[in-house]
Chain A
């Protein structure tokens, strides 16, 4: 696979605070990557370093094959960091012309990209008259001007209303469908789950996990169960070798699998034991549950260690 960005042992210290600690990962062409982590976990700092606005303390990062300088590489990158930043007194078109001049791109792209984000009819309005959603869409248009190899988005839906969030996500999906590599930093788990194929999980500047979203936790899923013989079922699950953990919330019993087991197989076992289930659902953990489990595990490991 063709690497787009390689990060090796990257560290950033702000005084005594270590914002990014010995971070390494690789972004390959054609995938949609998510950087996931709570606020203050070092996502924006990491992106700031590779985008040349934050100075690294140690380690290195390489764009593309490693023979391109960061300055030249950034001309093949589209990036939006935090809030959309433009000159408020210029119109959308004038702002984009300025970006074209910086990136060395022809002005002809402007109309095309404004069309993609649905702002073509507002191109002659000043930036300061735009709503936050429109500003964010203009930022995406600006990032797309040079037909980038990789699009970097930092919290692109932060502060938007549901309609705006939906619009931005749709645009991201369309861009990803065209084969553009995307790196999306977010603290919103369902956002990453909906959009990304790969994920890097950060906490306090350290990497907890990097790899495919669906392989994030080695889990066989869990059953949600209800039945008349409540206590009998709980006892049975607790002694059954296939289950690692049982959780009871009122009527609902949740059994976590330690070994793979299908729903019909489980149902048959229960029936043979004389337990008739009124409710049976097999589910996999959502990214949110996986994420919490991952961070929890680490915390409890640290406590025991």
Chain B
């Protein structure tokens, strides 16, 4: 396993573009997080301190940081599709196989790298959130700090799921740019499915239940948007604002299921293909 990760990391690390993108996808969310936590003085007119809004309080901070950090996954998604696209365009995939890498090992080396990266990203966000929270949060009791820490798990599963999807699209179309376009296509398809379900069931609630098991939507649903929750903390009396933002076990199961399916399909594709 270590050998396969080393292989892939060498391929990525020596490529300037992917190295830059990896850097960006690690550093950018981190920087945004740190910047948003400091006091910004707008030329003496007013000061903006997000910390005072209470969004850096435990446990809501876990929810907020993982939600916003997950938008930066697109940078590494480019790396994932290009690491497949490049193997095809350089014909190095064929050479790797001839040199004695099995097709299974090839897919596994990509998958392990995805897991490795997701793990690093999760740890980094976890640590940053912990320290910012310890600094700003009004409550730092251990029991409150670790409450809702499952958002980190959701974040990890979400990253692995999304990158597995990118890996599969990369294997399917062999070209990085087309693979990214496929993500948009899938997004549209999911809305079409929603529309179709709406026509059948006649109400939005049931249609959303169908859409929730689709790949992109299920990944999005892992970490629900926290804006409404922030508003709720300000106006606790408005009970009609209440919504279910928790991470549910079945949401995780759905995304893990999709990831497994995408990796398996990538392997099947490669196995059946004549290079």
Contact = CB atoms under 8 A, between A and B. Distances in A.
Nearest to A97: B10
B228 interface: no
B3 A52 contact: no
B168 to A, nearest CB: 20
A77 B10 CA distance: 23
Given A85-B90, A85-B91, A101 B98 contact: no
A85 B99 CA distance: 11
Nearest to B95: A85
Contacts of A101: 3, 6-7, 10
Interface string B87-114: 0001110111111111100000000000
A1 interface: no
Given A94-B10, A101-B6, A53 B98 contact: yes
Contacts of A142: 99
Contacts of A87: 11, 14-15, 86, 90, 92
Interface residues of B, number: 26
Nearest to B89: A88
Contact of A48 (B7, B96, B274): B274
B200 interface: no
B94 A53 contact: yes
Given A48-B274, A85-B95, A86-B90, A102 B10 contact: no
A36 to B, nearest CB: 22
Interface in A65-96: 71, 74-75, 77, 79, 81, 83, 85-90, 94
A71 B94 CA distance: 14
B275 A75 contact: no
Nearest to A100: B99
A82 to B, nearest CB: 8
A212 to B, nearest CB: 28
B90 A102 contact: no
Contacts of A79: 98-99
A146 to B, nearest CB: 8
Contacts of A98: 7, 10-11
B272 interface: yes
A124 to B, nearest CB: 13
B16 interface: yes
Contacts of A99: 99
A103 B100 CA distance: 6
Closest 3 CB pairs of A and B: A85-B95, A74-B100, A85-B91
23 contacts: A14-B274, A48-B275, A51-B98, A52-B98, A52-B103, A55-B272, A55-B274, A71-B102, A74-B98, A77-B100, A83-B91, A85-B90, A85-B92, A87-B11, A87-B86, A89-B15, A90-B14, A94-B14, A98-B7, A101-B3, A102-B96, A102-B100, A104-B3
Interface of B: 3, 6-7, 10-11, 14-16, 86, 90-92, 94-103, 271-272, 274-275
Given A74-B100, A101-B10, 19 more contacts: A48-B274, A51-B98, A52-B97, A53-B97, A54-B275, A71-B102, A79-B99, A83-B91, A85-B92, A85-B94, A86-B92, A86-B95, A87-B90, A89-B15, A90-B14, A94-B14, A101-B7, A102-B101, A142-B99
